[in-house]
Amino acid sequence: MKVISYNVNGIRAALKKDLVGWLRAADADVVCFQETKAQPEQIDDQIFKDLGYEFCYWFSAEKKGYSSVGIISKTKPKHVEYGVGIDYMDREGRNLRADFEDVSVMSLYLPSGTNDSRLQFKLNYMDDFKIYIEDLKRDYPNLVICGDYNICHEPIDIHDPVRLKTVSGFLPIEREWLSAFLEESGFVDSFRKLNEDVVQYSWWSYRANARANNKGWRLDYHLVSASLEDKIVRSVILPEAKHSDHCPVLLELK
């Protein structure tokens, strides 16, 4: 199974930048989108069906043009779960899960902590999400949680760890949560599993020519249940794709 995760920062805008051509060449089995910024009726599923993705699912925020996630798949899932059943989380359209025969794939878009109130929202979300996942794993032990976590885990994951240590996305409390999620909830950072010392980023600010100067952050992950660790054969970041301020990340499981 080849899974791509991509924060497209507006799926309609990305489609105008030949996202379709890129998806055709990438030829994944499942694609998880974040920040689609669209309601289901604003997305033409036929565009993706023409690429072989017969099964398209969208979970949108109540607020139009905001947040929202999607999953497209060439294989029909056994079940699709919209949201996590926690009202304040689901109103922002940040979690969508597709269950296949041997693995469940989730598209996740964790909030960013752009100010004090949103940082507290993010921290609450992270705590409730961790509890939710630990409970979910009892019934769905083989989980792949793809998406934009809005957290850089280690100094290697951010271009200026000293100057940015007080900025949300690299705060100690956020990094500690991600460490605990990996260790206590039983997940593996698939990229670091296969690329221990590689310096690569998946998001760049639109300001100050950050992408051209590679002043980025690694915010996008495929976190894989420890039960699937020996199935990881490839996990890469794909910076050549330029439909968004993020780039896609790819995971292959045998």
Q: Among 200, 180, 193, 183, which residue's Cα sits nearest to residue 222?
A: 193
pLDDT tens by residue, 109-154: 999 999 999 999 999 999 999 999 999 999 999 999 999 999 999 9
The pLDDT score that the predictor gives to residue 90 is 98
Cα dihedral: 123, 98, 243, 27 (round 10): 150
Buried-exposed string 8-31: b where 16+ CB fall within 10 A, e elsewhere:
bbbbeebbeeebeebbeebebbbb
pLDDT tens by residue, 219-232: 999 999 999 999 99
pLDDT tens by residue, 75-98: 999 999 999 999 999 999 999 999
The answer to whether 8 touches 245, Cβ cutoff 8 Å, is: no
Residue 148 appears among annotated catalytic residues: yes
What SS3 state is found at 204? Answer: strand
Average pLDDT, the chain: 98
Strands 95-99 and 220-225: unpaired
Which domains can be identified in the chain, with CATH numbers? Answer: 2-253 (3.60.10.10)
What is the distance, to the nearest Å, from the Cα of residue 100 to the centroid of all Cα atoms in its chain? Answer: 18
**If phi over 0 gives left and psi between -120 and 50 gives alpha, with beta otherwise, what is residue 231?**
alpha
Query: Which of these is catalytic: 29, 99, 148, 189?
Result: 148
- Whether the model clears a pTM of 0.75, i.e. scores above it, the answer is yes
Q: In what order do the strands lie in the sheet with 104-109?
A: 79-82, 95-99, 104-109, 143-148, 220-225, 187-189
pLDDT tens by residue, 32-41: 999 999 999 9
The pLDDT score that the predictor gives to residue 171 is 98
Here the tokens at position 56 are 């398209």
pLDDT band of residue 155 (cuts 50, 70, 90) is very high
